[in-house]
């Protein structure tokens, strides 16, 4: 049960002054309450201001800069009221010793204006100054107070992210009331840590962030932000560690076959494993031999050879008589895995099946019968695999490819289809360590750090679009030497038609300039059309493929050696890296031409530089994180780090590591959270919505 001390914070926002049912809905949408109920006071409190207005700024009229919010001490002049039916604004001139300004009002309420800005009197007026034709004006000032009332104006005002229909004054008022409800909570951080960092307590930190005294108070590295970010990270790390401890406790199976099946898969490969691959397989075998469940993340850049590692791992489990499942994010990828695994499985004697959403009812029924009878050892499929109707005779291991596209729920749904199912998660998008921790918690990680032998590095250059002709003639020279070229044009969703025209245009221009047939692939084409264009390029009938980013995933033409990416400045780093990964797959040196349209913005310039400097996907992902913040790497649009309200993967990476170690230590010393600190930590878990983990304690 929730500790009663938290009750005031879990009351709905509609209990706050000024928040009726309608406003409560708006507020809930803004601060992220649950879909079926109003946001709580605590939800509101974690809605931290993103800016502040400093009304202490009093430069005088003449020295006020356009766009600044200033406070002026002025004498009000004669009102310039427009005729009654005119749409013209109502203007009130005023002056101080430095100059003159106009206060401007649309749809004026005249009697109110006469009272608030009485002619000839002194007023303290605050608002945003704008200069027009060398004259300053202030449209709808925020405050106009008598000099003796000036103290009523807050000198520093927080500015909150808002939503349409919600006035900032309403939110500020509710927030002040919410802050008063924050109780003195028991401290969940240990004394030494607090002394060492100089952090304030939770309530202090929260109060300061909502009522900052200085701009620095709100910066990610201020002690107030650090304190709250750490609290949030600790809650998340602690919950993940509890879930993990619980999964382990639920028991796995010690799988210690003699490894003959795994060996025969490896022997069937037409190449030698890289050291990274061998290491990963060894780490997995060790996990499997333990009586606890495996939870391991296999990270490897595009083309590093994760599939083989997965198959070897599955073979180890299959040899013990259990079944395996491999889940891919798309049907194309599922089919690709199925096709590449078929010959290996045949040689090793593993009975392989494919399951996708396109299967007929009859196919599905037959497959289900074989799964139930244990006549299938390994099934490769899409999310169709974890539908409720699918069952296994004895599921022992699940491999999930491209994990970040699946939610935790789906992963749990699949691993729930067997007893103590071991889980291996593979990701091709290199997720930086900091994000691994946020999203997966304390998972074990194996990394494939090297590419298979014989791969040549890719030379990357960036060239201005002004030099298009030069690039086209170089492409011409390359294809006359027998090379193959991808030419990628960007697709911006909002203007698909224009982009389509651009791709078709580029196709025409290149056919004309190079005097030969060129393949074209874009998203609007039918599957057959696409296939035939692709295969013409693959088998060499055409030497150039003009494409939109549809080629990003799943295309394999090993003898393509050049990729030109047009308008490279419009692509994100991760996408550029994925695209570049289409070349450099054979034994010939390859190159990547980033064709940009100048002038380049700062971020775009930085991206192209990083691309030129490195081929290392992990490094690129880390840089990407710095440039964009965590959210976008995982494909979510909101800014900030997914699942977090305060902590940010880019700014608080160091805190994440500390929180992880801290939570480990906590569970080692007090696995039931029963000590004094443990009880305080339960409060923390509730506060940040991580209390589901507490239920596991009770179950265990
Ligand atoms: P990814 O890690 O991107 O999923 P894949 O598993 O699809 O990579 O492997 C990419 C290609 O490299 C495949 O054609 C695979 O057969 C090949 N490959 C994997 N391991 C090796 C190796 N050790 N030596 C040579 N080629 C390999
Ligand atoms: Mg793969």
CA–centroid distance, 305 to ligand 1, in Å, is 3
- Closest ligand by atom to 270 CA: 1
pLDDT at 5: 95
Task: Identify the residue whose tokens are 């009586």.
Answer: 291
429 in ligand 1 pocket by Cβ < 6 Å? no
- Mutation probe of ligand 1 site: the residue of 280, 303, 454, 579 with most atoms within 8 A of C-beta: 303
Sign of CA dihedral 323, 328, 331, 334: negative
What pLDDT shows up at residue 455? 77
- pLDDT of 402 reads 66
DSSP 336-391: HHHHHHHHHHHHHT--EEEE-TT--HHHHHHHHHHHHHT--SEEEESGGGGSTT--
Q: Where are the domains of the chain?
A: 4-52+162-218, 56-153, 260-448, 458-614
Ligand 1 binding pocket includes 490 (Cβ within 6 Å): no
Token pair 């003796």 is at which residue? 148
Angle formed by the axes of helices 617-628 and 602-613, nearest 10°: 170
Output the DSSP codes for 440-496: H-S-EEEEE-SPPTTPPPEEEEEEEGGGHHHHHHHHHHHHHTT-EEEEE----GGGH
Ligand 1 centre to CA of 515 (Å) is: 36
Strand, helix or coil at 276?
Answer: helix
How many whole angstroms from 415 Cα to the centroid of ligand 2?
Answer: 21
Q: Determine contact, residues 440/407, Cβ cutoff 8 Å.
A: no
Pick from 273, 281, 348: nearest CA to 312:
281
- Ligand 1 atom closest to Cα of residue 272: 23
Q: Which two structure tokens, joined as six digits, stand for 609?
A: 């530089």
d(CA 60, CA 42): 41
DSSP lists the bridge partners of residue 354 as: 380
Q: Quote the Cα angle for 235-238-241, to 5°.
A: 150
With a 6 A CB cut-off, is 308 part of the ligand 1 pocket? Answer: yes
Q: How many Cβ atoms are within 10 Å of 643's Cβ, its own excluded?
A: 16
| Residue nearest atom 18 in ligand 1 by C-alpha distance | 305
Looking at residue 360, its pLDDT comes to 87
Tell the residue nearest (CA) to atom 13 of ligand 1. 305
SS3 139: strand
Atom of ligand 1 nearest to the CA of 269: 16
CA distances from 266 to 183, 322, 340 (A): 61, 19, 14
Decide: 274 in ligand 1 pocket, CB within 6 A.
Answer: yes
DSSP for residue 318: H
- Report the distance separating Cα 138 and Cα 155, nearest Å: 19
- The tokens for 450 are 């090297």
299 lines ligand 1 (CB under 6 A): no
Burial class (CB in 10 A: 0-12, 13-18, 19+), 579: buried
How far is it, in rounded angstroms, from Cα 496 to Cα 503?
Answer: 10
Same fold, 260-448 and 458-614: yes
Best probe residue, ligand 1, of 307, 314, 342, 399 (max atoms within 8 Å of C-beta): 307
Strand partners, 86: none
pTM of the model: 0.59
Atom 17, ligand 1: residue with shortest CA distance: 305
**In the beta sheet, which residues pair with residue 71?**
126
Q: Are 93 and 102 in contact (CB under 8 A)?
A: yes
Ligand nearest to the CA of 301: 1
Taking the C-alpha atoms of residue 192 and residue 202, their distance in angstroms, rounded to an integer, is 16
Assess whether the C-beta atom of 553 lies below 6 angstroms from ligand 1: no
Distance of CA 300 from the midpoint of ligand 2 (Å): 9
The residue contributing the CA closest to ligand 1 atom 26 is 452
Report the relative pairing of strands 122-132 and 143-145 from DSSP bridges: antiparallel
What spacing in Å lies between the alpha carbon of 634 and ligand 2's midpoint?
A: 17
Decide whether any atom of ligand 1 lies within 6 Å of the 428 Cβ.
yes
Give the C-alpha separation, 595 to 678, whole Å.
Answer: 57
For residue 401, report the distance from its CA to the centre of ligand 2, in Å: 7
Cα separation, 385 vs 375, in Å, equals 17
* Mode of pairing for the β-strands spanning 378-381 and 323-327: parallel
* 404 alpha carbon – ligand 2 mean position (Å): 13
Any ligand 1 atom below 6 A from CB of 452: yes
CATH H superfamily, domain 458-614: P-loop containing nucleotide triphosphate hydrolases (3.40.50.300)
124 lines ligand 1 (CB under 6 A): no
Residue 306 CB less than 6 A away from ligand 1:
yes
CATH class, 56-153 region: mainly beta
Question: Using a 6 Å cutoff on CB, does residue 300 contact ligand 1?
Answer: yes
Identify the residue whose C-alpha is closest to ligand 1 atom 25. 452
Token pair in block for residue 199 = 């952090």
For the four alpha carbons of 147, 151, 157 and 163, in that order, the dihedral sign comes to negative
Helices 306-318 and 275-289: crossing angle, nearest 10°?
30
Rounded to a whole number of angstroms, the distance between the first and last alpha carbons of the chain is 16
Does the beta carbon of 268 sit less than 6 angstroms from any atom of ligand 1? no
| 3-state SS, residue 644 | coil
> Which ligand lies nearest the alpha carbon of 401?
2
Taking CA atoms only, the protein residue closest to ligand 1 atom 4 is 306
Beta bridge partners of 645: none
Minimal-distance CA residue to ligand 1 atom 20: 305
Q: How far is the CA of 520 from the centre of ligand 2 (A)?
A: 25
Q: 316: Cβ below 6 Å to ligand 1?
A: no
Phi, psi dihedrals of residue 82, rounded to the nearest 5°: -75, 165
Tokens at 177, concatenated: 């009331």
**What gap in Å lies between CA 450 and CA 301, rounded to an integer?**
9
**Residue/partner pairs of 340-344 with CB below 8 Å, 24 or more apart:** 340/307, 341/307, 341/311, 341/378, 341/380, 343/268, 344/265, 344/268, 344/269, 344/311
Atom of ligand 1 nearest to the CA of 340: 16
Read off the pLDDT of residues 204-235 as tens digits, 9 standing for 90 and up.
999 999 999 888 998 899 999 999 999 999 99
HEC string of 417-435 equals CCCCCEEEEEECCCCCHHH
Helices of type H across 545-616: 573-580, 602-613
Cα of 633 vs centre of ligand 2, distance in Å, is 18
Residue nearest ligand 1's atom 15 by CA = 305
Ligand 1: does its nearest atom lie under 6 Å from the Cβ of 586? no
Using left for φ > 0, alpha for ψ between -120 and 50, and beta otherwise, residue 115 falls in: alpha
Q: Which residues of the chain have pLDDT under 70?
A: 32-36, 247-250, 332, 402-416, 428-443, 491-499, 527, 550-555, 625-643, 693, 695-700
CATH number of 260-448: 3.40.50.300
Cβ neighbours of 226 (radius 10 Å): 23
CA of residue 427 to ligand 1 center, whole Å: 14
| Backbone angle region of 140, left / alpha / beta, with phi > 0 → left and psi within -120 to 50 → alpha | left
Nearest atom (ligand 1) to Cα of 556: 14
The Cα–Cα gap between 483 and 207 comes to: 64
> How far is it, in rounded angstroms, from Cα 454 to Cα 74?
77
How crowded is residue 284: how many other Cβ atoms within 10 Å of its Cβ?
26
Q: Is 302 in the pocket of ligand 1 (CB under 6 A)?
A: yes
DSSP 123-185: EEEEEEEEEETTEEEEES-SEEE-GGGGGGS-SEEEE----TT--HHHHHHHHHHHHHT---P
Measured in Å, residue 56 CA sits from the centre of ligand 2 at: 58
Return the sign of the alpha-carbon dihedral for residues 498, 499, 504, 510.
positive
Q: Of 283, 230, 286, 302, give the one whose Cα is nearest residue 684.
A: 230
């Amino acid at each position: 049960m929730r500790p009663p001390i938290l009750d005031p914070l879990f009351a709905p926002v509609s209990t706050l002054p000024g928040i009726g049912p309608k406003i409560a809905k708006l507020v809930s949408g803004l601060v992220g309450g649950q879909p079926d109920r109003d946001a709580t006071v605590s939800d509101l409190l974690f809605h931290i201001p993103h800016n502040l207005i400093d009304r202490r700024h009093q430069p005088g009229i003449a020295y006020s800069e356009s766009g600044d919010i200033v406070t002026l001490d002025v004498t009000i002049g004669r009102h310039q009221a427009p005729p009654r039916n005119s749409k013209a604004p109502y203007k009130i001139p005023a002056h101080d010793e430095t100059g003159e300004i106009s206060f401007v009002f649309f749809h004026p309420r005249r009697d109110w204006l006469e009272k608030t800005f009485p002619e000839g009197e002194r007023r303290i007026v605050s608002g945003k100054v704008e200069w027009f034709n060398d004259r300053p004006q202030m449209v709808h000032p925020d405050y106009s107070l008598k000099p003796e009332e000036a103290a009523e104006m807050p000198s520093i005002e927080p500015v909150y992210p808002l939503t349409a229909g919600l006035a900032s004054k309403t939110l500020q008022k509710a927030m002040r009331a919410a802050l008063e409800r924050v109780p003195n909570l028991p401290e969940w951080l240990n004394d030494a840590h607090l002394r060492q960092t100089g952090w304030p307590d939770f309530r202090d930190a929260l109060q300061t962030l909502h009522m900052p005294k200085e701009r620095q108070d709100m910066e990610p590295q201020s002690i107030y932000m650090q304190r709250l970010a750490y609290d949030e990270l600790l809650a998340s790390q602690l919950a993940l560690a509890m879930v993990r401890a619980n999964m382990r406790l639920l028991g796995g199976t010690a799988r210690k076959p003699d490894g003959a099946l795994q060996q025969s898969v490896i022997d069937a490969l037409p190449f030698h494993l890289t050291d990274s691959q061998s290491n990963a397989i060894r780490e997995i075998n060790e996990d499997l031999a333990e009586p606890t469940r495996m939870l391991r993340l296999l990270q490897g850049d595009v083309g590093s050879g994760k599939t083989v590692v997965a198959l070897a791992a599955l073979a180890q489990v299959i040899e013990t008589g259990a079944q395996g499942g491999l889940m891919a994010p798309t049907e194309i990828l599922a089919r690709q895995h199925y096709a590449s695994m078929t010959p290996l499985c045949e040689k090793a004697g593993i009975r392989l099946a494919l399951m996708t959403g396109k299967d007929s009812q009859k196919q599905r029924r037959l497959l289900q019968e074989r799964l139930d009878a244990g006549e299938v050892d390994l099934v490769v499929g899409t999310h169709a695999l974890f539908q409720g109707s699918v069952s296994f005779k004895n599921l022992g291991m699940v491999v999930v490819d491209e994990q970040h596209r699946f939610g935790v729920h789906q992963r749990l749904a699949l691993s729930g289809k067997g007893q103590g199912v071991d889980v291996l998660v593979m990701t091709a998008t290199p997720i930086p360590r900091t994000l691994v921790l946020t999203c997966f918690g304390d998972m074990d990680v194996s990394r494939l750090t090297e590419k298979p032998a014989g791969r040549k590095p890719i030379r990357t250059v960036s060239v201005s679009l002004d030099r298009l002709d030069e690039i086209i003639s170089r492409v011409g020279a390359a294809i006359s030497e027998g090379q193959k070229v991808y030419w990628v044009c960007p697709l911006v969703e909002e203007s698909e038609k224009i982009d389509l025209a651009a791709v078709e245009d580029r196709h025409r221009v290149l056919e004309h300039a190079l005097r030969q047939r060129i393949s074209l692939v874009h998203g609007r084409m039918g599957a057959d059309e696409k296939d035939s264009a692709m295969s013409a390029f693959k088998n060499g009938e055409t030497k150039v493929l003009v494409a939109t980013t549809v080629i990003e995933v799943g295309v394999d033409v090993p003898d393509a050696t050049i990729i030109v990416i047009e308008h490279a400045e419009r692509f994100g780093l991760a996408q550029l890296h994925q695209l570049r990964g289409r070349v450099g797959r054979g034994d010939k040196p390859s190159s990547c031409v980033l064709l940009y349209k100048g002038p380049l913005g700062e971020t775009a310039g930085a991206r192209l530089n990083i691309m030129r400097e490195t081929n290392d996907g992990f490094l690129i992902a880390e840089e990407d994180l710095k440039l964009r913040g965590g959210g976008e790497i995982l494909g979510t649009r909101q800014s900030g780090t997914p699942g977090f309200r305060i902590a940010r993967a880019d700014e608080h990476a160091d805190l994440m590591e500390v929180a992880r170690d801290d939570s480990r230590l906590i569970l080692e010393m007090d696995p039931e959270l029963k000590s004094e600190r443990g009880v305080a930590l339960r409060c923390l878990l509730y506060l940040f919505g991580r209390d589901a983990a507490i239920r596991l304690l009770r179950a265990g």
